[in-house]
Structure formats: C-alpha cells, structure tokens
A and B are shown apart, each in its own frame.
Chain A
Amino acid sequence: EVQLLESGGGLVQPGGSLRLSCAASGFTFSSSPMNWVRQAPGKGLEWISALTASGGTTYYIDSVRGRFTISRDNSRNTLFLQMNSLTTEDTAVYYCARESPRGDCSYDYWGLGTLVTVSS
C-alpha cells in the first residue's frame, strides 16, 4: 500500500525557516517524481515544487523560487522541502504528492498534509 507521511510543520515567525519531510513507502520511491502542493486555509490547491526521480532537476513556482529548496534522499525514501524567509502568505497545509508512473503529470497519491503557520 502506497503511503506518504509529511512531518515538520508548525508555528514559525515571519522570516523564519522550517524543513518539511515526507516519508514514502509501498512503492519504488527512487523511480517516482515527487511534488509539494499547498493549500492555504479556505483556499484552493497550489502546486509549489517538483523534483525528478533522480533528484537532478527541480522546479518551483515563482513565489517560492529562491526561498524554498526541494530535495530527496532515495536511500531513506524521503522527500524534503526546506523553507526559508517565510511570510504570512506561506501559511498553508503542505502536501507531498506522487506523480503517477504513467508520466501524465497527475498526482495519484497524496499525504495527509502538515500545517505550516507563519505568524508573529
């Protein structure tokens, strides 16, 4: 059974940093492109970052480029999101999501999410 479990969320002050983790199991993690998607309270889904299976290529939405860094450790089946210079606009539930093995840019498995609250 495919499982994705995020951790690392919490309350942080503006300008602070957090590192999110996503532990994967039940599939060949090292073969799967992975993504982070966030959802602000009461708002819609927002794709923020993607990483190829090897970890060699990264993609970011403009609003987080230069502040967030996506990475992975295939030996530990874990995806990461380092978030720096956080603002109140980054307050959201952060989901990790697996891209389907079909390679069609759909996300077939999602974690339960971890809440990040940026507030003074």
Chain B
Amino acid sequence: QSALTQPASVSGSPGQSITISCTGTSSDIGRYMYVSWYQQHPGKVPKLIIYGVSDRPSGASNRFSGSKSGNTASLTISGLQAEDEADYYCGSYTTSSTLVFGGGTKVTVL
C-alpha cells in the first residue's frame, strides 16, 4: 500500500487561506468517505482535526475544513494564524482493511 501523496510544504501569510491536497487511488480516497486529517506540532502527538472527509471533532478550530473530489481530498485552513504552523497528515481507509497516511505537509506561516 503506497502512501497518499501530499505536497511537502505549503506556506501563507497570516489571515490568508491555504489548501493542502492529498491524492490517493480508487482503492482508498476514491472509494470511501473515511478520510481524516491530523495536525502535529514539532515534538507533539498528532491531533485529529477532520474526520469523515469534512467533519470536525469538538475542540478543532472551525478554520479547518475538508473536502473530497474523486481520488483527491483537501484540507483548507482559513484565516491562517501563527499557531497553525505544523505538519499535517491525511489518512484514508483502504480496500485492504488497512489505513494509509499521506507523507505529510509542513505548513509555514510567513
């Protein structure tokens, strides 16, 4: 099972919106609505910020939103803030009954 494809880095200025893509295949993202996103600050534990493609768990900022089209999922961060600087990972359930993560995207706030 190959990792999902994410851009290595994305950057934006405070207040701007940025979008992180996550590309899979018809055996994972394209097949299921089980896409999740995680935020990980340096030296910290990953935190769930989006589940079920576009739902937010309690405690996650409403500046995070998710979507999916075909084999590609996306995470949008609106009103970018300094605290959003972190690594972001997508994850998807697969037809092999496993989970696969993306390679991760480092978000930099300029």
Say yes or no: B99 contacts A35, CB within 8 Å.
yes
The digit string for A32-54, where 1 denotes a CB below 8 A from any CB of B, is: 00010100000011110010000
Contacts of A50 in B (CB 8 A): 98-99
Say yes or no: A104 contacts B97, CB within 8 Å.
no
Say yes or no: A95 contacts B45, CB within 8 Å.
yes
Cβ of B89 within 8 Å of any chain A Cβ, yes or no, is yes
Cβ of B70 within 8 Å of any chain A Cβ, yes or no, is no
Q: Which of B10-18, B19-27, B46-54, B71-79 contacts A (4 or more CB under 8 A)?
A: B46-54
Cβ of A88 within 8 Å of any chain B Cβ, yes or no, is no
**How many A-B Cβ pairs are below 8 Å?**
70
With A104-B36, A106-B36 in contact, is A47–B99 under 8 Å at CB?
Answer: yes
CA distance A16 to B49 in the complex (A): 37
With A100-B51, A102-B51 in contact, is A46–B45 under 8 Å at CB?
Answer: no
Closest chain A residue, CB of each to CB of B93: A105
CB A84 to nearest CB in B, in angstroms, measures 20
With A35-B99, A44-B101, A46-B101 in contact, is A104–B34 under 8 Å at CB?
Answer: yes
CA distance A59 to B1 in the complex (A): 13
Cβ of A73 within 8 Å of any chain B Cβ, yes or no, is no
CA distance A111 to B93 in the complex (A): 21
Query: How many of chain A's residues have a CB under 8 angstroms from any CB in B?
Result: 23
With A45-B38, A45-B89 in contact, is A106–B51 under 8 Å at CB?
Answer: yes
> Which B33-66 residues sit within 8 Å CB-CB of chain A?
33-34, 36, 38, 40, 45-48, 51-52, 57
CB A36 to nearest CB in B, in angstroms, measures 11
Contacts of A37 in B (CB 8 A): 46, 101
Say yes or no: B52 contacts A104, CB within 8 Å.
yes
Contacts of B93 in A (CB 8 A): 105
> Which B87-106 residues sit within 8 Å CB-CB of chain A?
87, 89, 91-93, 97-104
CA distance A62 to B98 in the complex (A): 10
With A45-B89, A100-B51 in contact, is A108–B57 under 8 Å at CB?
Answer: yes
- Write the residues of chain A forming the contact surface with B, with a CB cutoff of 8 angstroms: 35, 37, 44-47, 50, 59-62, 95, 100, 102, 104-108, 110-113
